[in-house]
Amino acid sequence: MKRFAAPLFVLVFFVLFVQSSFAHHRKAVLGESTVASELETPAVTAGPGYILPDSPLYFVDKIFQTVRIAAAFTPDRKAKIRSEIAGERLAELRIMLAKNNSQGISTAISQLTKETDLTAQDLGDAASRGKDVKILAKGINETIKIHRAFLGTLASQSQGAMKLQFQAAREALQEAKVEVEDELSEDELEHEINEALEEEVKDEMEDASNSTEALERVLEKFQKQVSESAKKALSHREEAIKQAIENKNEALKREYEQLFTQEKKKQETLLKTHENASREAKEAAEKTRKAAENIKESREEIKRIEAQPVGSNTSSGSSGGNSGSGRSNSGKD
C-alpha cells in the first residue's frame, strides 16, 4: 500500500496543479484576470463630461450634448463638437478604468465609438455640400489617432474579453478614420495610408506565431492592403482631377459671364448714345425746318414789298383830287 502512496500523491498533486493552471489560463482568456484599475492609462487631452457613466443621471449629460450639437446648425461645426465629445468620453473611460467599473467602461467605450462615427459622417456631409474641410479633417484625424493609440495601450495590457473590447473599439475608430481620411489633401491621404499599412502589419506580426503559415498570411494581407491602398489613392486622384476640371469649367463660365456682362454694358452704352444723337439730330432738323420757314416767309414778305409800285400812295391821292375837281366842274355847270 505504501508503494502506491507516493505515486498516488504525485498524481493527485499533478491533477490539482493542472486544474489550477487551466483555471488561471481560463481566467486569462476570459479577461477575468485583468484588473482595470491596474492598467496604466495614458494622459488624455480633454476633460470628462459633467456627469460620469456610472451615475444614474448620465442621461442628463447626453441630453446636454445633444443640445450642443443641435445648436451647431452646420455639419462642419457639428463634426467639430462631436470630436470634442468623443474626447470627453475617452476621459470618462479613463476614470471608469480607475474605478474598475465594468459597466461604466462599456458605456464609455460605446459612446466613444458612436461619437467618432458620427463625427466622420458630419464631416462627409459638410464636404458633400461644397465646404472646404481639409483643415478640420486633419485635426479630427489626429484626434482619432490619439484615441486609437490610447485603446492600443490598454489592449496590450489586457487579456481575454477586456482585450477584445478594446480591440473592437480601436477597429471601429479605424473605420471612422478611413472616412475622415477621404477629406484630407492628396499628400496627407497617401501618408495616412502608408502609416496605416505599417501599423496593421506590425499588429499582425505581434499576434502571429513564428510559423511559416502565419507569416505567409501576414504577407498576403499586406499585399492585399497595398493593392487596395493603390486603388484608393488612384480613386482619390481621379476625384481630384474631376474636381479640378469642374473648377476650371466654373472659372471659364465665370469668365464668359463677365465678358458677356461687359459686352452687354458696352452695347447698352452705344444704344443710349445713338438714341441721344438721333434725338438731338431730330431737334436740330426741326429747328432748321422752322428757320427755313421763317426765312421763306421773310423772303415772300420782301418780294411782296418789292413788287409794290413806287408812289402808289401818291397816285391814289391825285385820283381823289381829280374826282373832286370833276365834282367842282359839275357844280359850275
Its domain, for residue 49, covers 21-184
Which amino acid, 16? Answer: L
The answer on 171 and 284 residing in a single domain is no
Round the average pLDDT of the chain to a whole number and report it: 75
Average pLDDT, stretch 10-23? 41
In a domain, 7, yes or no: no
In a domain, 8, yes or no: no
Residue in 105, 63, 65 with CA at minimum distance from that of residue 83? 65
In a domain, 317, yes or no: no
The answer on 152 and 290 residing in a single domain is no
Domain total of the chain:
2
What pLDDT does residue 75 have?
94
What pLDDT does residue 275 have?
79
Neighbours of 283 (CB within 10 A): 10
In a domain, 2, yes or no: no
What pLDDT does residue 32 have?
46
In a domain, 37, yes or no: yes
In this predicted model, which residue has the larger pLDDT, 266 or 53? Answer: 53
What pLDDT does residue 201 have?
65
The answer on 239 and 98 residing in a single domain is no
In a domain, 177, yes or no: yes
In a domain, 330, yes or no: no
- Tell how many helices (H) and how many strands (E) occur in the chain: 9, 0
pLDDT higher than threshold 60 for residue 127: yes
The answer on 246 and 105 residing in a single domain is no
Q: What are phi and psi of 54, to 5 degrees?
A: -85, 5
In a domain, 204, yes or no: no
The answer on 258 and 135 residing in a single domain is no
Task: Dig out the grid coordinates for 285 from the structure.
Answer: 432738323
Residue after which a domain boundary falls, among 160, 184, 208:
184
188 and 138 Cβ atoms separated by less than 8 Å: yes
Average pLDDT, stretch 318-332? 43
